[in-house]
Amino acid sequence: MSPGILGKKIGMTQVFRPNGEVVPVTLLKAGPCVVTQRKTATTDGYEAVQLGLVEFAKTKNITKPAAGHLKKSGADGVRFQRELRLDGGSGDMKAGDRVLVGEFKPADKVDVIGVSKGRGFAGLVKRHHFRGGENTHGSMFHRAPGSIGASSFPSRVFPGMRMAGHMGHQRVTVRNLEVIEVNAEDNVLAVKGAVPGPAGSYVLVRRARS
């Protein structure tokens, strides 16, 4: 049993449970995937498996070192790869094995990892939800950051200070999403709730850690 699967975000919709409850879901094009490398405690110091999403990328878009790595497992045309740790119940997976969405069942719990949408340069109020100053009564402090550090001591700005800057485009993990439906024929996985990233972005779906 694979610890996870790779895929792409299709978009959001809604489905109905048998009792009539409306459930918002995100559709994911999950797999097929192939095991590109099997890491063991003997050779690498830990147990893990590398998965590659089979989408038949052009050869010119794959570097020569990556192509040589993929050739060992016969996984030509793989561009998106991720590594997942293995536990005792993951079975004996080896290079060349295929991972399909049929390994997941409704009511399973999964974690979905993706890259959030990039919002460009944003100010403090939008990026960090600062309240800002008054807009009336002669105030000259509206959406400014305020004090970012004392001048006499320590006479510098501490690292990590919340300021304006690039918003979004960060790795985000959404935990314990419920699998609502599994379409093994079309390799589609429907999970309850929202998933980070725009439509068409790559995601990693791993089994939730209890």
pTM of the model: 0.81
Name the residue ranges covered by the structural domains of the chain: 4-121+171-207, 122-168
Residue 140: what pLDDT? Answer: 87
Can you tell me the distance from the alpha carbon of 4 to that of 103, in angstroms, rounded to the nearest whole number?
A: 9
Q: What is the pLDDT of residues 66-93, one digit of tens each?
A: 777 777 777 777 788 899 888 765 567 7
**CATH superfamily of the 4-121+171-207 domain:** Translation factors (2.40.30.10)
Q: Is 111 helix (H, G, I), strand (E, B) or coil?
A: strand
* Buried/exposed code over 85-122 (b: 16+ C-beta within 10 A; e: otherwise): ebeeebeebeeebebebebbeeebebbbbbbeeeeeee
Peptide bond just before 65 cis, omega within 30 deg: no
Can you tell me the distance from the alpha carbon of 105 to that of 81, in angstroms, rounded to the nearest whole number?
A: 23
Tokens of 94: 């080896």
Q: What is the pLDDT of residues 94-133, one digit of tens each?
A: 877 888 888 899 999 999 999 999 999 999 999 999 988 8
- Report yes or no: 46 and 38 within 8 Å, Cβ to Cβ: no
